[in-house]
Chain A
């Protein structure tokens, strides 16, 4: 896989630890990883970079994950980018809301292993 073929994934996550984990896991799997620590920064990054996949946390400073997801789905150029919500929130209500807003998948932090998310990303990107 050469540079130009590398798929681009944006991680929007305020916890440095999770960014570190997923950058490691995803880069070793051959993806290009970009990071944003806030919802607003994440949305700006999405608009300029147009990534292939977005990993989105829900509890974020300024814009929440739900708000960012709404913006992605409302924008012509970004509306088809796959989004995986990845949050410590895990009630049925949270999950339903995420999926209704157009998330492709919902993972609860601490309940799943990074490898499961990696599998999900692979599946979604191979489509």
Chain B
């Protein structure tokens, strides 16, 4: 071992020179002599001494104790105090800095030597203990294998000051997935990984050991090996063929190397390999420490592998236990148990289709499968969340909403925390285990609903505000047309007439929009009363007499001789009838419009048939939807596409309905269904 470097901090030059000479005689190297505490940190970091001799009383701001404290906090270097007197107070302060010794001035040569050797030895032991302790700590933590190995290497580097190091590890199957190195070049790692994990005793035979200098190489019982003079070794064994050490190291500038197999239960699972570019860097003592460390690492790796497997098993076991528990709970219900088991099989099948499974499990849409007895057979997490408290365990139980194929409805759903929202629940028919079932989907439409509500509120507000001025214009033109504001020329009268009609049309359009808004906000009230349908049909017809005559159409209507008493909302039925008749007149350019009434099964059916352009194809299915503007009539007569929508909504509100029967060439036939008052 090279002689230790010692830093002297002493402000009295005579004393420091004396110490320097003594140390020289004792074969130590003096790295520097400084006189003040302020210089200590910089000097230590530059010269990296192995030990510091520190005078407690120093000139300047920083005394020896403060300087020692700084060394302790920043470096791992032992400090010995030199002091001329021992004051209790100072001693107390000095103690805190964990000094490695005190030397009381004046001192003998032997005192100094003993103190230094004890300090260095104590420090080495401390370091060793700390190192072993650290390795044990690393080996005991639960982290991923590569992370643990990296920390292990870091500690080894701190301790051995190696140039480069690497660890190869095998997994349970004997593959070598981990090659973690610090400082090795890529080519070295590749070349090295081709060699066996265990240093071959054949190669490390006694013949390889330099008999004149036995400290240069070792081969231990644990199977580790050290070469402390690689170049010398290569030179002495150059002729031996197939010597992998020679083959590998002749290309790299390493002088010392150690190979420590990582063993678990007498099985080698890896290799720790450290090298140094200088000769003689790895002592047998270090090797022993590394062997212990490697053993701990081996155990740690094995433990982490086992933990990983255990975790997988545990997760699986928990799943099994969960399933088992729920099965047991249902043991009293034989039938339900059967269903559950079938469902489990189904679930397993489902799980195997992992990509599809993912879509179902993680999609934002709630998905539930309900069988033909309304029992829930499958439910995804989103649906569970939507249905919230009522669905702790829905599978095998009746579904709380009656599924009707092809229907969609709105329900209250649970969102995050305590918030609720609106969900659209839809049912389509599907098959489950070869039997008919319902596929129920729940979609969160809270946002959409909010926007619709805002739109609807806005429409309502705007409608009211628009209605007032339009009504004003209409009435102004009305009194002018009636001559109540003086005389007008014929031309002016025609213009006024036009203005009057436009405002009347606008007024109706706004009223229609208001109706739609009310339907959508569901703020519409229904006032049912009994009345004779014949009278109502007559009053609707009166409104259209003029336009029917103008178009040259024939209206065929024979009122029923009997009073047909219906139970309906007068206003809304009038509106519905009016809208259907309006439609018929608009789209019939020649021919007739026929109105018939008949009674069937507690309902009155009113048929309104025309000889117009009829309704075919795609439009047929959408005719009662909002915004279906029909073309074919003169453009000025095109409506806003809301008439039939309102008609159907209004009729449905009073337990009625409307149907379309149309073949394009023969015109359309709308049938209105209204409950009789019995």
Instruction: Check A110–B507 contact: CB distance below 8 A.
Output: yes
Instruction: Check B467–A110 contact: CB distance below 8 A.
Output: yes
Instruction: Produce 1/0 per residue, A83-120, CB < 8 A to B.
Output: 00000111111001000000000000111011100000
Identify A24's interface contact among B471, B479, B518, CB under 8 A: B479
| A residues in contact with B469, CB < 8 Å | 15, 17
Chain B residue, CB-CB nearest to A57? B468
20 other A-B residue contacts (CB within 8 Å) besides A88-B464, A88-B468, A91-B571: A15-B468, A18-B472, A18-B475, A24-B479, A25-B479, A28-B484, A59-B464, A88-B467, A88-B471, A91-B518, A91-B525, A109-B471, A110-B475, A110-B507, A113-B475, A114-B475, A114-B478, A115-B478, A115-B479, A115-B482
- Asked if A21 lies at the interface with its beta carbon under 8 angstroms from chain B, I say yes
- Asked if B470 lies at the interface with its beta carbon under 8 angstroms from chain A, I say yes
Instruction: Check B525–A92 contact: CB distance below 8 A.
Output: yes
Instruction: Check B464–A110 contact: CB distance below 8 A.
Output: no
Compute the total of residue contacts between A and B using a CB distance below 8 Å. 57
**Interfacial residues of chain A within 68-95, with CB under 8 A of chain B in the complex:** 88-93
- Asked if B527 lies at the interface with its beta carbon under 8 angstroms from chain A, I say yes
Instruction: Check A110–B571 contact: CB distance below 8 A.
Output: no
| A residues in contact with B485, CB < 8 Å | 24
Chain B residue, CB-CB nearest to A21? B475
**Interfacial residues of chain B within 481-502, with CB under 8 A of chain A in the complex:** 482, 484-485
- Write the nearest CB–CB distance from A123 to chain B, whole angstroms: 18
Closest 9 CB pairs of A and B: A110-B471, A17-B472, A109-B471, A110-B507, A88-B467, A113-B478, A92-B527, A114-B479, A21-B475
| B residues in contact with A21, CB < 8 Å | 472, 475-476, 479
| A residues in contact with B527, CB < 8 Å | 92, 96
**Interfacial residues of chain B within 234-260, with CB under 8 A of chain A in the complex:** none
- Asked if B474 lies at the interface with its beta carbon under 8 angstroms from chain A, I say yes
Q: Range of interface residues on chain A?
A: 20 to 34
Alpha-carbon distance between A93 and B476 when the two chains are bound, in angstroms: 28
Subset of 12 A-B contacts with CB under 8 Å: A24-B485, A25-B479, A88-B467, A91-B525, A91-B571, A92-B569, A92-B571, A109-B468, A113-B478, A114-B484, A115-B478, A115-B479
Alpha-carbon distance between A103 and B571 when the two chains are bound, in angstroms: 20
- Write the nearest CB–CB distance from B502 to chain A, whole angstroms: 13
Chain A residue, CB-CB nearest to B466? A88
Q: Interface SS of chain B: helix, strand, loop or mixed?
A: helix
| B residues in contact with A24, CB < 8 Å | 479, 484-485
Alpha-carbon distance between A88 and B107 when the two chains are bound, in angstroms: 115
Alpha-carbon distance between A25 and B475 when the two chains are bound, in angstroms: 11
| B residues in contact with A89, CB < 8 Å | 464
The residue in A93, A96, A113 that gathers the most chain B C-beta atoms within 10 A of its C-beta is A113
**Interfacial residues of chain A within 2-47, with CB under 8 A of chain B in the complex:** 15, 17-18, 21, 24-25, 28
| A residues in contact with B478, CB < 8 Å | 113-115
Alpha-carbon distance between A48 and B244 when the two chains are bound, in angstroms: 122
Alpha-carbon distance between A88 and B469 when the two chains are bound, in angstroms: 10
Chain A residue, CB-CB nearest to B485? A24
Chain A residue, CB-CB nearest to B468? A88
Alpha-carbon distance between A18 and B478 when the two chains are bound, in angstroms: 12
| B residues in contact with A28, CB < 8 Å | 484
| A residues in contact with B468, CB < 8 Å | 15, 88, 109
| A residues in contact with B484, CB < 8 Å | 24-25, 28, 114-115
- Write the nearest CB–CB distance from A96 to chain B, whole angstroms: 8
- Write the nearest CB–CB distance from B442 to chain A, whole angstroms: 34
**Interfacial residues of chain B within 565-587, with CB under 8 A of chain A in the complex:** 569, 571
| B residues in contact with A114, CB < 8 Å | 475, 478-479, 484
The residue in A88, A92, A115 that gathers the most chain B C-beta atoms within 10 A of its C-beta is A88
**Interfacial residues of chain B within 199-243, with CB under 8 A of chain A in the complex:** none
User: A91-B525, A92-B571 known; A15 and B472 CB under 8 Å?
Assistant: yes
| A residues in contact with B507, CB < 8 Å | 110-111
| A residues in contact with B482, CB < 8 Å | 113, 115
Alpha-carbon distance between A111 and B474 when the two chains are bound, in angstroms: 9
| B residues in contact with A110, CB < 8 Å | 467, 470-471, 474-475, 507
Instruction: Check A109–B571 contact: CB distance below 8 A.
Output: no
| B residues in contact with A111, CB < 8 Å | 507
| B residues in contact with A92, CB < 8 Å | 525, 527, 569, 571
| B residues in contact with A91, CB < 8 Å | 518, 525, 571
| A residues in contact with B470, CB < 8 Å | 110
- Write the nearest CB–CB distance from B122 to chain A, whole angstroms: 96
- Write the nearest CB–CB distance from B520 to chain A, whole angstroms: 15
Instruction: Produce 1/0 per residue, B409-435, CB < 8 A to A.
Output: 000000000000000000000000000
- Write the nearest CB–CB distance from A104 to chain B, whole angstroms: 21
| B residues in contact with A93, CB < 8 Å | 525
| B residues in contact with A96, CB < 8 Å | 527
| A residues in contact with B472, CB < 8 Å | 15, 17-18, 21
